[in-house]
């Protein structure tokens, strides 16, 4: 495969102050600081989750509106991304080998992450150090292996569901439309495979799907551009709703989770990067825009367009492979939500209820984490994965209620680690298979990874040869 350098662009004449102010990373960090300040001001004015005021309501509306924008694009994004990624495999020689290597490394990193979670749970013993005032409660959703398998069977073309419930005040009925992301993935995968099997007759459909994906991604670039505004609202609202008091009784549990996340992100991942002969600094500078957005949005699916862009544009993974591996990772690669968190949480619940876990149960935690990652399906939160783990171990599901108070705080870190891993695996697999553009990987980071520069959709710097010749794996 030939390697290419970045496309030449006009010199950047912006001054240092303007460069700083227009930096996506700076804008996110500034929004975080301002959001925390606004949240603290709101609490000083007496706002709480139960008694909101004008400031808290405004912050909540801003944050929820941003998340709603991200979620609105989930179904079309996933459908077109999965179909297009499967169709792109026709351009890749030894596609089965690449897919197998990708899934294998997903499992390897999940195994490492869950072992770290188990060790931290046993060493820190968060369940034995839990504070007073914790209340048990039934989870609003329960994950079981049977329900997981049944959930794979599409109820309709897009996996849409409609739920109707009576209002508490006036008794009127209201309906809401939702979707099962696993069913969307199954439908998209089947259609993508069928299109490949149909051959030339399906070419117009595949071309249309790839074009539609570009349109959806363009809309998502616009949504990503206002991420600092969403960050301001989400962080400010979180500070008002949860404050620091909620962390008091679950402080050791939160510490154990974040220590585990930090070990994976800043120790395990850099070791994998270095052992494959790549620069750790370049990996973090390349993936950091996606990690920041993931921390704020708490959604791997919502961050998917940016994750795919930095994987191609910053880390040098060929588009033909990245367009398959990154969407797959966004739905199944969950080191934070599906490995570290359920391991520590399961041990916390067992310790809190005074239940001794045996070797077989610890082994089950590992198996559930490595095999059951798809149960989280890239959506916000990890309650489904936790209930799946607890039900497999035979632990009381009421224990989920103990942890819900601080789940949004933990979910920020979990999702950031998820996304960092979703970009890492395609990078090291591409390196191992000899298809990584190392010149691009080691190039200076310039501009926004989703900038609307001319020719952006073609992204010649990411994979100039992918549309002209097949990418071959060694």
Question: Which string of DSSP letters, residue by residue, matches 79-130?
Answer: HHHHHHHHHHGGGBTTHHHHHHHHHHHHHHHHHHHHHHHHHHHHHH-GGGG-
pLDDT digits (tens, 9 = 90+) for 123-137: 999 988 876 655 555
> How many angstroms separate the Cα of 330 from the Cα of each of 202, 421, 424?
26, 9, 12
Given a contact cutoff of 8 angstroms between Cβ atoms, the answer to whether 378 and 307 are in contact is no
Predicted confidence band of residue 453 (pLDDT cuts 50, 70, 90): very low
Task: Tell me the percentage of the chain whose pLDDT exceeds 90.
Answer: 23
C-alpha triplet 158, 160, 166: angle, nearest 5°:
170
Is pLDDT at 449 greater than 70 in this prediction? no
Please tell me whether residue 9 adopts helix, strand or coil conformation. coil
Looking at residue 466, what is its pLDDT?
Answer: 36
- For residues 219 and 302, give the distance between their C-alpha atoms in angstroms, rounded to a whole number: 12
* Exposure string over 263-292, b if 16+ CB within 10 A, otherwise e: bbbeebbbebbeebebeeebbbbbbbbbbb
Residues 389, 395, 398, 400: is their CA dihedral positive or negative? negative
Query: Beta-strand (E) ranges in 326-397?
Result: none
- For residues 120 and 111, give the distance between their C-alpha atoms in angstroms, rounded to a whole number: 14
Q: How far is CA 404 from the centre of its chain?
A: 19
Residues 161, 146, 410, 315: is their CA dihedral positive or negative? negative
Predicted confidence band of residue 278 (pLDDT cuts 50, 70, 90): very high
Predicted confidence band of residue 441 (pLDDT cuts 50, 70, 90): very high
pLDDT digits (tens, 9 = 90+) for 307-353: 988 999 899 999 878 888 888 888 778 888 888 999 999 999 999 88
Q: 368 or 438, which is more confident?
A: 438
Q: For the chain, what's the residue count?
A: 474
Given a contact cutoff of 8 angstroms between Cβ atoms, the answer to whether 77 and 276 are in contact is no
- For residues 457 and 411, give the distance between their C-alpha atoms in angstroms, rounded to a whole number: 32
Residue with token string 């139960």: 50
Task: Tell me the percentage of the chain whose pLDDT exceeds 70.
Answer: 74
Please tell me whether residue 51 adopts helix, strand or coil conformation. coil
79-83, 413-417, 457-461: the lowest-pLDDT one: 457-461
First to last CA, the chain: 11
Residue among 268, 248, 255, 247 at smallest CA distance from 120: 255
Given a contact cutoff of 8 angstroms between Cβ atoms, the answer to whether 375 and 148 are in contact is yes
Given a contact cutoff of 8 angstroms between Cβ atoms, the answer to whether 313 and 462 are in contact is yes
């Amino acid at each position: 495969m030939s390697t290419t350098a970045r496309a030449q662009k006009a010199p950047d004449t912006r001054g240092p102050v303007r460069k700083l102010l227009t930096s996506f990373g700076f804008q996110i960090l500034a929004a975080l600081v301002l959001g925390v300040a606004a949240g603290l001001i709101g609490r000083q004015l007496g706002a709480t989750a139960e008694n909101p005021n004008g400031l808290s309501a405004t912050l909540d509306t801003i944050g929820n509106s941003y998340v709603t924008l991200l979620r609105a694009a989930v179904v079309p994004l996933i459908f077109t991304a999965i179909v297009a990624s499967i169709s792109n495999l026709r351009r890749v020689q030894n596609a089965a080998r690449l897919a197998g290597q990708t899934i294998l490394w997903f499992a390897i990193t999940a195994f490492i992450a869950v072992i770290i979670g188990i060790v931290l749970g046993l060493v820190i013993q968060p369940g034995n150090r839990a504070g007073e005032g914790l209340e048990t409660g039934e989870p609003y959703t329960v994950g079981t292996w049977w329900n997981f398998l049944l959930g794979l069977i599409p109820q309709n073309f897009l996996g849409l569901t409609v739920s109707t419930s009576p209002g508490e005040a006036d008794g009127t009925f209201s309906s809401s439309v939702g979707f099962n992301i696993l069913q969307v993935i199954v439908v998209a995968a089947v259609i993508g495979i069928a299109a490949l099997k149909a051959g030339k007759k399906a070419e117009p459909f595949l071309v249309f799907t790839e074009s539609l994906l570009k349109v959806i991604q363009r809309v998502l670039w616009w949504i990503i551009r206002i991420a600092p505004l969403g960050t301001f609202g989400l962080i400010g609202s979180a500070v008002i709703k949860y404050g620091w008091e909620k962390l008091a009784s679950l402080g050791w549990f939160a510490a154990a989770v974040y220590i585990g996340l930090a070990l994976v992100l800043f120790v395990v991942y850099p070791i994998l990067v270095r052992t494959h002969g790549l620069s750790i600094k370049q990996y973090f500078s390349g993936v950091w825009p996606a990690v920041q957005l993931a921390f704020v949005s708490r959604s791997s699916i919502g961050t998917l367009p940016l994750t795919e862009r930095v994987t191609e544009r910053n880390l040098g993974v060929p588009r033909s492979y990245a367009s398959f591996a990154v969407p797959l990772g966004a739905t199944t690669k969950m080191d934070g939500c599906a490995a570290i968190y359920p391991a520590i949480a399961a041990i916390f619940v067992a310790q809190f209820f005074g239940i001794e876990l045996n070797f077989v149960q610890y082994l089950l935690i590992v198996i559930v984490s490595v095999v059951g990652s798809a149960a989280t399906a890239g959506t916000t939160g990890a309650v489904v994965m936790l209930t799946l783990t607890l039900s497999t171990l035979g632990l009381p599901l009421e224990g989920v209620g103990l942890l819900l108070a601080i789940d949004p705080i933990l979910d920020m870190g979990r999702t950031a680690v998820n996304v960092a891993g979703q970009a890492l695996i395609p990078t090291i697999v591409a390196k191992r298979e000899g298809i990584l553009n190392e010149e691009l990987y080691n190039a200076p980071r310039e501009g926004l990874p989703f900038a609307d520069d001319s020719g952006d959709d073609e992204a010649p710097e990411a994979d100039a040869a992918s549309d002209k010749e097949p990418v071959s794996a060694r």
